Amino acid sequence: MALRTATLWSRVVRHRFKLIDGSVVLLLTCLAAFYSFEADIFADDEAASSVKTVTLEEVMVIAAVFCAGLTVYAMRRLREAKRETARRIAAEREARTLALHDALTGLPNRRSFDQALQVAIASPPRSRGSHALLMMDLNGFKRINDLYGHQAGDELLTQVGGRLSRSVRDGDLVARLGGDEFAVLAMHTAGAESAT
């Protein structure tokens, strides 16, 4: 419980002081100064009659203004914390996607393929079945890049990746290993013929 309280307190303290925070504090200070009251402890009866008395309504107004300002401040901080959390989650999701997918084709990259291959090796195929691994590269890809430019080569890689993705089963993995190399990992195939 102490760790959770410390974490919550560090989240509250960590936020930056902004201009609106200063205006809320200034407003509350002005209200407190306006309704300030003095008390003379050793005042006699004649002096006591000249001291301004504060009614319960005035105290309630001061408390209500203070609570309203504090509530606005807390709600604004909560909104900022939610926005920051959502931004960090989105950034983490994007970083994970970039780490496991090829930026050009959108296919899983070598790291993602290696992880899936380790899972396939660790899990035995169904009875009378097998896993299949198909490796391919594009013949003459360097020539296409040299003749038509890298933009045409990138478009070719994107088209090949899209066609491979549409031609495999739902559970199969198509990955771009790098350059013009692609791989298909077909899990639980019925045999060598069904893998093609």
150 lies in the same domain as 176: yes
Q: The pTM is what?
A: 0.54
Three-class DSSP category at 155: helix
> Comparing C-alpha atoms, which of 77, 85, 81 is closest to residue 21?
77
170 is catalytic: no
Q: Domain total for the chain?
A: 2
pLDDT digits (tens, 9 = 90+) for 141-181: 899 889 999 999 999 999 999 999 999 988 899 999 988 99
Q: How far apart are the first and last CA of the chain?
A: 58
Single residue among 81, 100, 119 that ends a domain in this structure: 100
74 lies in the same domain as 114: no
pLDDT digits (tens, 9 = 90+) for 98-138: 888 888 998 999 999 999 999 888 887 777 778 888 999 99
State the average pLDDT for the chain: 79
Q: Which domain covers residue 58, as residue numbers?
A: 2-100
Q: Which of 40, 44, 172, 180 is catalytic?
A: 180
Single residue among 61, 76, 100 that ends a domain in this structure: 100
Contacts with 51 (C-beta within 8 Å, 6 or more apart), sequence order: 38, 39, 40, 43
Q: Which helix (H) or strand (E) holds 15?
A: none
